[in-house]
Amino acid sequence: MKNYETVFILNPALSEEQVEKAVDKYDKYLKSNGAKIVSKEIWGLKKLAYTIQNKNSGFYNLIEYSAPADTVSSLEVEFKRDETIMRYLTVTLEKDAIEWAEKRRNRNTKKAS
């Protein structure tokens, strides 16, 4: 199993409750397909660098997980079917990226305390 990080942007018209439900939906989807969730972060409503679907902002979310390779392709099919997903990007995390992601999580934990 490889380590992956997926960032996806949800439609800004959604409520915060709907955003949390969407993130939980994909969290459960990954778990049901054999993935182990390392972390998930809801970054909130952010301004986009360029307009997507005539929208200037969106809810950014990140899920870091380890999973079999076929899980990623099936997750991306689910993203394409979901009208609330404006954009998504999945990257494979190499050794250095895994260490950096761990430092980022620790830094964010310290800010929250």
- Select the more confidently predicted residue: 104 or 53: 53
pLDDT(106) > 50: yes
Number of structural domains found in the chain: 1
Residue 39: domain span = 2-112
Kindly report the pTM of this predicted structure: 0.83
pLDDT one-digit tens code per residue, 14-46: 998 999 999 999 999 999 999 999 888 889 999
CATH number, domain with residue 70: 3.30.70.60
**Buried b / exposed e along 79-113 (16+ C-beta atoms within 10 A):** beebebbbebebeebeeeeeeebeeeeeeeeeeee
Q: How high is the pLDDT of residue 80?
A: 95
110: number of CA atoms within 13 Å, CB side?
6
Q: How high is the pLDDT of residue 1?
A: 85
Q: Is 61 helix (H, G, I), strand (E, B) or coil?
A: strand
- Select the more confidently predicted residue: 8 or 102: 8
Q: What is the spatial distance between Cα 107 and Cα 86, in angstroms, rounded to a whole number?
A: 28
pLDDT(113) > 60: no
Instruction: Please state, as a whole number, how many other Cβ atoms lie within 10 Å of the Cβ of residue 4.
Output: 21
Sign of CA dihedral 107, 63, 28, 20: positive
Rounded to the nearest 5°, which phi and psi values hold at 73?
-65, -40
Q: What is the spatial distance between Cα 15 and Cα 77, in angstroms, rounded to a whole number?
A: 24
